[in-house]
């Protein structure tokens, strides 16, 4: 179903995010027929390009970042027709007069701020000065949304000078992932799980986002950030919220965000003893496939920034009192895998004499990527005449298999989120108070290790993280699931 016609201005249109995600995503929506034929995409950046130059840039982005099934010459040519460009100075006067007349009346107007947060204020101000932003225009802003509570508040205040909260779309691309939305469907469209979804039945929850890539060319950004700011404060926090929140009364932007906010506010401070930070080692000098270490990647031999973090988190409310949430994320780990695993408690009494040595907990694993799906581990009788012996087996469901073709053609997070902006649906975007609450929780944790001037523990590239992370669970009599 096509969305309403729109004019989308992308500030920072010649940047990496536009090339990798925004332009390819818009093309895929065009290909699928969702982007109306008369919609316009206007690139705006400092680069001295004209419309033809920007179309070349977009054509390359599509060639490099769209799969072969959608590489269709005629469709690409038609999509490029919708593109225009203005060379513009975000902090000066150049280009703004030229941008204004390019926008049409009577269509949805959206501005994508794919630029450094330091420019948000300047752009917002000029959009108003030149009468480009209207009362129902939408703006899209990217993470990092601040680096602590203070900077996040300042950014919110800057945006609030010119835009109402209902016009601001703060992207956390994890919320656009199909399986992340599926978490809500699994929890709230089934009766099966919800009665068990509390500390009476759930022993603990593990949330893992493991990556195989290093920090690559993003060293200068990453070294000032680290895994806590780059991943936990936003992406893992969102996953935690969707798992822990109470049922919203309706699938409605504020109803959902109100419930997430309550979870964030219920998070307990995390003592440093419940945190393990790591930095990956390289494999230099070990053959031709050798890779650099974190310290080499960020070109800072004294860096104390973490490329891995594991922490134990408590949600202090009636539902979750006593059920720990273990979170971990890191780069250069053994495999690229993101999953949420909910481990249930023991049945209250065993009727099987021999079961003690073979009994294992029920675990519900929700795989976010790759091979999205769900897996419920249950106990059954081991086949054969040897008496009542138990064995654990998986009830495994891959969404791609279960849903056939539809399950394999899953839109990328960005394309879904951009279409939501055009539709005016804020459910999958972070509200200002949510972001601030997440920083209010993260700040003292980060300050804690900064004050201790502590170096993260080294871990091998291709491993499952630092050894101390194992201890974080071992000492509670639990184990991480293996990363594979
Ligand atoms: C980004 C982080 O927000 O998410 C990156 O800045 C990280 O460091 C990326 O690699 C992970 O996203 P995905 O979609 O590949 O899991």
pLDDT for 273 equals: 96
Q: Which one of 235, 349, 474, 484 is the catalytic residue?
A: 235
| Ligand 1 proximity of 211 Cβ (cutoff 6 Å) | yes
Q: What is the pLDDT of residue 399?
A: 80
**What's 140-183 look like in SS3?**
EECCCCCCCHHHHHHHHHHHHHHCCHHHEEECCHHHHCHHHHHH
pLDDT at 356: 72
Q: How far is CA 371 from CA 122, 179, 312, in A?
A: 42, 10, 27
| Predicted ipTM > 0.85 | yes
Ligand 1 and 415: CB distance under 6 A: no
Looking at the CA of residue 222, tell me the nearest atom of ligand 1: 8
Say whether pLDDT at 202 is over 70.
yes
What residues are designated binding site for substrate? 173, 177, 211, 230, 331
Query: pLDDT tens for residues 221-259?
Result: 999 999 999 999 999 999 999 999 999 999 999 999 999
- How large is the average pLDDT for residues 10-21? 95
Alpha carbon 80 to its chain's center: 29
The band of 407, judged by pLDDT with boundaries at 50, 70 and 90, is low
Work out the average pLDDT over 317-340: 97
pLDDT tens for 79-88 read 999 999 999 9
Indicate the top mutation candidate among 230, 333, 339 to test ligand 1's pocket, ranked by most ligand atoms within 8 A of CB: 230
| Percent of the chain whose pLDDT exceeds 90 | 85
Catalytic, 474? Answer no
Residue numbers in the known binding site are 46, 143, 173, 177, 211, 230, 331
End-to-end CA distance of the chain: 38
Nearest CA to ligand 1 atom 4: 231
Largest Cα separation within the chain, whole Å, is: 84
Q: Is the pLDDT of residue 287 over 80?
A: no
Distance (Å) from CA 144 to ligand 1 centroid:
11
Spacing, Cα 120 to ligand 1 middle (Å): 22
């Amino acid at each position: 179903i096509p969305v309403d016609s729109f004019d989308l201005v992308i500030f920072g249109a010649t940047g990496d995010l536009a090339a990798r995600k925004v332009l390819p995503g818009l093309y895929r929506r065009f290909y699928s027929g969702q982007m109306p034929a008369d919609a316009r995409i206007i690139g705006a950046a400092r680069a001295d390009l004209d419309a033809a130059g920007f179309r070349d840039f977009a054509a390359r982005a599509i060639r490099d970042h769209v799969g072969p099934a959608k590489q269709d010459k005629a469709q690409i040519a038609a999509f490029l027709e919708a593109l225009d460009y203005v060379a513009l100075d975000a902090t000066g006067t150049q280009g703004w007069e030229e941008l204004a007349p390019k926008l049409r009346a009577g269509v949805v107007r959206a501005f994508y701020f794919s630029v450094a947060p330091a420019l948000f204020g300047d752009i917002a101000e000029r959009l108003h000065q030149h009468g480009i932003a209207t009362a129902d225009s939408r703006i899209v802003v990217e993470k990092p949304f601040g680096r602590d509570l203070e900077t996040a508040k300042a950014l919110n205040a800057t945006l609030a000078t010119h835009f109402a909260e209902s016009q601001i779309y703060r992207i956390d691309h994890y919320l656009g992932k199909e399986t992340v939305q599926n978490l809500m469907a699994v929890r709230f469209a089934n009766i099966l799980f919800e009665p068990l979804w509390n500390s009476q039945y759930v022993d603990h929850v593990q949330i893992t986002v493991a990556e195989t890539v290093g920090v690559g060319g993003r060293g200068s950004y990453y070294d000032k950030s680290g895994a806590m700011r780059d991943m936990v404060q936003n992406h893992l926090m969102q996953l935690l919220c969707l798992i822990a929140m109470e049922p919203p009364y309706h699938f409605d932007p504020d109803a959902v965000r109100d419930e997430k906010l309550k979870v964030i506010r219920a998070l307990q401070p995390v003592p440093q003893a419940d945190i393990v930070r790591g930095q990956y080692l390289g494999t230099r000098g070990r053959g031709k496939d050798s890779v650099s270490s974190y310290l080499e990647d960020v070109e800072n031999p004294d860096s104390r920034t973490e490329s891995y973090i594991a922490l134990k988190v408590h949600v202090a409310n009636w539902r979750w009192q006593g059920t720990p949430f273990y979170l971990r994320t890191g780069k250069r780990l053994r495999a690229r895998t993101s999953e949420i695993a909910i481990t249930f408690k023991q049945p209250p009494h065993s009727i099987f004499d021999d079961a003690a040595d073979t009994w294992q907990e029920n675990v519900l694993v929700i795989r976010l990527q790759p091979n999205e799906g769900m897996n419920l581990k249950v106990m059954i009788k081991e086949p054969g005449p040897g008496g009542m012996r138990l064995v654990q087996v998986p009830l495994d469901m891959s969404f791609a298999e279960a849903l056939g073709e539809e399950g394999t053609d899953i839109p990328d997070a960005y394309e879904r989120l951009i279409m939501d902006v055009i539709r005016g649906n804020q459910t999958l975007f972070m509200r200002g108070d949510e972001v601030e609450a997440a920083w209010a929780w993260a700040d003292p944790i980060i300050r804690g290790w900064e004050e201790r001037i502590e170096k993260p523990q080294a871990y091998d590239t291709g491993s499952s993280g630092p050894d101390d992370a194992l201890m974080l669970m071992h000492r509670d009599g639990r184990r991480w699931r293996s990363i594979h």
